[in-house]
Amino acid sequence: MFKVLLIDDEPLIREGLRQVIDWEACGFTICDVGTDGRDGLNKIRSHQPAVVLIDIRMPGMSGIEVIQQAKEEGYTCKFIVLSGYSSFSYAKQSIKLGIESYLLKPVDEDELISILAEIKTTLTHDKKIHTQLTQYQQLSEEQRWKSVIEGRADDRQIANLIETNPSHFHLAVLHADEDMKKQKIKEILKPYETKNLKLIWKDHSIYLLCTNCEEQEVITYLTLFSEKIQKFVNDQIKGYLADTFQSLTEIDFALRQIDQLDKLAYCFGSESNLTYSILDNEKVEEPNHNQIASIIIRSLEFKDKNKLEEQSKMLIHYYQKGKFEKGRIQAEMIEFVSEISKELSKTYQDLQIGEKETFVKQVYQTKNIQELFVVIESRLWLLAKQINGFSLTAEDNMKKILHYTQQYYYQDLNLKVLAKLFNYNSSYLGKKFKIHTGEHFHTYLDKVRIAKAKQLLVKQDYKVYKVSDLVGYSNMDYFYKKFKKHVGMSPKEYQKESRKEHSIL
């Protein structure tokens, strides 16, 4: 039986948790209860339970603070966080702390039993590994190398494995999320083993221990082996390479790097081989999610798939630069898409959002961040298809029309096109536009196009005819006249003058 500690400041909740399931039938026994955060932390210290069910909000010391302190003190108990609040900020904090699960009160019996079953499997496995006593001398060579990878070999045993004294080592790994056909793959890779390259099998991974090899040589091995064994594995083969080290006694350092890379595999899913260099710390500025959400909503209303994909790429870049792990990315994007759906529902009441549970399940089934955003874009585009014309109010109608004009100035725009798109009479829209902006639509459109043309002439090395086409003027002579009217000089003269000013500065 594995010990369970219950921590909650509400007596009724504590008693309810005692009674909600048959703990012994699940392989657990309740060793004690904590009446608040501080009391719970003391009982973690005294009982050292295997599992802790803890309320996230308690007076004095919160559940988050208890978990942080317990982990800092080295306690390895599995935490299940309970909360009467569905606040995403709490969930994010819990994800960062590496808890086993996050449950809302009242606790669902079946969900709790399922989580406990998974934890029991993990605890049983850990206990077996911890208590297993194997005589090192009786191990085969393959088992001895495996013990090095698992961190079970001491310095003397490691020294006996290496006949020479290499100047440096590299550790790399090929990993799959499923069982490989071990015997067949061994036969394929065996000819590549040399005194400088040792292949070590562990679970779903093949470790490459290279001595006196250059980094590029190791990457070549990873790429070659991955290609050779991919046909025997349904899932994508992932390659990881740790930084160089001078002694096998330092292998723990390389193993920790590989573990970090594995956690980032979801984020960098499209890259075949991940190396230690991506672990370097970079400053990452969090994007303005409200602004991105606003752009996405507008792209759905305007049915602009390119703009939607552009925002997706921006978010992928942010997550990759920030090196975020799978759980955080998935949780944040579920919340982000939910907020966009809610905002759209406020304007378009007949919108069919779709089951959130189905979407969440799809998100958790994605194998990498690229798949995640395919799922997200597909869900959002289904909403876009339901929007037939704009739902406009007096407050935001002209704002949307101006935004559309500023974004799609390069298209063949006129009042008839806008009137049809925004469900207006073209004559009425023209009068309304003039009242709102003080200008006729064609005058306003010319100003937007000329402003963009000025930017392109200065910042890009484009010919005048190219700029004319890019800003929506198919006739270059007409563009020339419009530009000179608004700017007071020809496009070429403006380009020359602007470049002169920049060269002086």
Domain with residue 496: its CATH number is 1.10.10.60
Domain boundary residue, one of 69, 99, 131: 131
Q: Could you tell me if 97 and 157 lie in one domain?
A: no
Residues sharing a CB contact under 8 Å with residue 61, sequence separation 6 or more, in sequence order: 36, 37, 38, 41
Contact 381, 305 (CB under 8 A): yes
Domain boundary residue, one of 278, 313, 345: 278
Q: Could you tell me if 321 and 446 lie in one domain?
A: no
Enclosing H/E stretch for 215: helix 215-229
394 versus 487: the higher-pLDDT residue is 487
Beta bridge partners of 172: 208, 241
Give the per-residue pLDDT at 167.
Answer: 87
Give the per-residue pLDDT at 136.
Answer: 42
Q: How many other C-beta atoms can be found within 10 angstroms of the C-beta atom of residue 57?
A: 16
Residues of the domain holding 77: 2-131
Q: Could you tell me if 333 and 422 lie in one domain?
A: no
Q: Where are the alpha helices (DSSP H) in 348-440?
A: 356-365, 369-386, 397-407, 415-421, 426-437
User: What CATH number should be reported for the domain holding residue 81?
Assistant: 3.40.50.2300
Query: Which amino acid type is present at position 462?
Result: Y
- Lookup result for tokens 């007949």: 350
Contact 158, 248 (CB under 8 A): yes
Q: Could you tell me if 403 and 300 lie in one domain?
A: no
Residues 90-122: b if buried by 16+ CB within 10 A, e if exposed = bbbbbbeeebbbbbebebeeeebeebbeebbee
Query: Which amino acid type is present at position 505?
Result: L
Residue 138 above 50 pLDDT? no
Angle at 446 between CA 444 and CA 447, to 5 degrees: 65
6 versus 196: the higher-pLDDT residue is 6
Structural domains counted in the chain: 4
245-302 tens-digit pLDDT:
988 878 889 999 999 999 999 999 877 789 998 888 778 888 898 889 988 988 888 7
Q: Could you tell me if 302 and 265 lie in one domain?
A: no
Determine the distance from the C-alpha atom of residue 128 to the mean position of all C-alpha atoms in its chain, rounded to a whole number.
34
Which tokens is 28 given? 């657990």
Residue 91 above 60 pLDDT? no
383-437 tens-digit pLDDT:
988 876 555 454 567 888 888 888 888 888 888 888 877 777 788 888 888 888 8
